[in-house]
């Protein structure tokens, strides 16, 4: 894809980098769309298939099994075949899943269709930020990688509007039989557009250099950063690749072991602090605490809008304030909001308090943990194995997401826990995990603002 703004030998063409970022981030938009579409459909699915709490959790989380599989293969595909090829595979899987998810007559068929889409999500969740990080100038990398998170939350907000619109077409009976099907099928249109756009973008310059295609790598770097900077950057990339091993086992070497701990820890804690409970179950939480179906879906749209608004804050600040300050401030806000929500649930507070605490949590997550974890994961691993190393971390991220999504209905509806905690227990548990995340950021996570990927990599080996 092209841009009208010519590059110079010194400044490059940042517009072109932004264009490539937007195309790659469309994978993130479908990531958000695919994972959040279940929020509007789950109540109707439960009625259509007659699901109990455990089956409801499976219907909501079956896609996450596919995400785990996608994360497992994404690194191998992207490191062997290229970042672009991996994104094309994800686009095809998104399309197939969207159509099939609208057709099933049994829960098993539905789960298989959702798993196929989940594989696409798992691939895109790794490769979209990885591609953006590898084409972005160092001074703007945090901002541009955060565009992927913006695309995710726009996908989430977009599908909330779609769900609200579809649910309003017919009555409850129509939605139970047909409405939820159209919610899933709606994803086919953006999936097809994503596939078409991918045909017009180049491979990442670092992957090109890794494959010995130095002229193509230089041409792309020069177009983005200017010829002078491209010459220096390509030499650093080649030197760094020449000293790397090509086995993910190098992450067990001294210095790099810490990278692995940080990547895995951030991936797991991003999820077990509870974000996708609200992404997948928000309408059901609102209904449980007193809202009707229409109001619950509308409140969910407000949650999605809040998510978008505060992701904009993160994009503006991540390359100004740095990764660590944003993460510490945001995770503290998440812990406070979850504690307040648990208290509101325990004492049966009004909907205003419940909505306020949920919005506080979403805002805190969106300005920090949501985008910044993906930024850090895309930065810290060595070039030759970046895809596979991100696969390890992201696989565990999706496994944690599955654990939380599968168990939330079971914990939330457990008679003994409800009797003792009045639906407050899950939120208090997630608040505790927020404190663990704060401790990890303070004691383990380095600041990577403004440093090239090669500088970050050399800092680990020096350590």
- The answer to the question of residue 221 being in a domain is no
pLDDT (0 to 100) of residue 246: 56
> pTM of the entire structure?
0.75
Helix, coil or strand: residue 322: coil
CA-to-CA distance for 347 and 313, rounded, in angstroms?
Answer: 33
Which CATH number covers residue 264?
A: 1.20.1250.20
CA angle 30, 380, 309 (to 5 degrees): 40
- The answer to the question of residue 227 being in a domain is no
Q: What does the pLDDT look like over 189-204, one tens digit per residue?
A: 999 999 999 999 999 8
Q: Is the dihedral of CA 106, 107, 109, 110 positive or negative?
A: positive
Q: What does the pLDDT look like over 282-325, one tens digit per residue?
A: 777 777 666 666 677 777 788 888 888 998 888 888 888 888 99
- The answer to the question of residue 211 being in a domain is no
Return the closest-CA partner of residue 277 out of 342, 327, 185: 342
- The answer to the question of residue 251 being in a domain is yes
- The answer to the question of residue 185 being in a domain is yes
Residue reference for tokens 């279940």: 38
- The answer to the question of residue 217 being in a domain is no
pLDDT over 90 (residue 222): no
Average pLDDT over residues 199-226: 88
- The answer to the question of residue 355 being in a domain is yes
Element at 103 (helix H, strand E): none
Containing domain of residue 394, as a range? 14-201+243-462
Exposure of 96 by Cβ count < 10 A (0-12 exposed, 13-18 middle, 19+ buried)?
Answer: middle
Q: How many domains does the chain have?
A: 1
Work out the pLDDT band at 71, boundaries 50, 70, 90.
confident
Q: What does the pLDDT look like over 240-259, one tens digit per residue?
A: 777 655 555 666 676 677 88
Work out the pLDDT band at 11, boundaries 50, 70, 90.
low
- The answer to the question of residue 414 being in a domain is yes
Q: What does the pLDDT look like over 130-180, one tens digit per residue?
A: 899 888 887 788 788 888 888 988 998 899 889 989 988 989 899 999 999
């Amino acid at each position: 894809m092209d841009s009208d703004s010519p590059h110079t030998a010194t400044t490059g063409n940042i517009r072109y980098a932004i264009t490539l970022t937007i195309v790659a981030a469309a994978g993130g938009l479908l990531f958000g769309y695919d994972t959040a579409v279940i929020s509007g459909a789950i109540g109707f699915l439960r009625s259509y298939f007659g699901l109990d709490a455990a089956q409801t959790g499976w219907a909501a989380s079956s896609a996450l099994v596919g995400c785990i599989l996608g994360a497992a293969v994404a690194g191998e595909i992207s490191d062997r075949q290229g970042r672009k090829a991996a994104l094309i595979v994800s686009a095809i899987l998104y399309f197939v899943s969207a159509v099939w998810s609208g057709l099933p007559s049994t829960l098993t068929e539905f789960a298989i269709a959702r798993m196929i889409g989940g594989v696409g999500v798992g691939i895109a969740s790794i490769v979209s930020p990885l591609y953006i990080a590898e084409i972005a100038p160092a001074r703007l990398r945090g901002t541009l990688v955060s565009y992927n998170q913006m695309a995710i939350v726009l996908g989430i907000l977009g599908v909330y509007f779609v769900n609200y619109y579809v649910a309003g077409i017919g009555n409850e009976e129509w939605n139970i039989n047909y409405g939820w099907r159209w919610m899933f099928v709606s994803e086919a249109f953006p999936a097809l557009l994503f596939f078409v756009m991918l045909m017009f973008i180049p491979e990442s310059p670092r992957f090109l250099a890794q494959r010995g295609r130095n002229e193509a790598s230089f041409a792309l770097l020069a177009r983005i950063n200017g010829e002078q900077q491209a010459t220096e950057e390509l030499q650093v990339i080649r030197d760094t690749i020449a000293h790397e091993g090509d086995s993910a086992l190098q992450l067990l070497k001294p210095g790099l072991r810490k990278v692995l701990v940080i990547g895995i820890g951030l991936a797991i804690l991003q999820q077990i602090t509870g974000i996708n409970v609200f992404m997948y179950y928000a309408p059901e939480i609102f209904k449980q605490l007193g809202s009707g179906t229409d109001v619950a879906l509308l409140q969910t749209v407000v949650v999605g809008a809040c998510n978008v608004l505060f992701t904009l804050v993160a994009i503006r600040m991540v390359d100004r304030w740095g990764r660590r300050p944003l993460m510490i401030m945001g995770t503290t806000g998440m812990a406070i909001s979850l504690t307040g929500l648990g208290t509101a649930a325990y004492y049966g507070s009004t909907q205003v308090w419940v909505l306020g605490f949920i919005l506080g949590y979403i805002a805190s997550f969106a300005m920090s943990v949501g985008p910044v974890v993906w930024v850090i994961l895309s930065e810290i691993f060595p070039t030759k194995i970046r895809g596979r190393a991100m696969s390890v971390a992201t696989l565990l991220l999706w496994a944690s997401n599955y654990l939380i999504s599968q168990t939330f209905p079971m914990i939330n509806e457990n008679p003994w826990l409800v009797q003792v905690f009045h639906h407050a227990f899950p939120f208090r548990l997630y608040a505790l995990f927020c404190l663990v995340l704060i401790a990890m950021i303070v004691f383990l996570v380095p600041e990577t603002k403004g440093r090239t990927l090669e500088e970050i990599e050399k800092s680990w080996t020096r350590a």
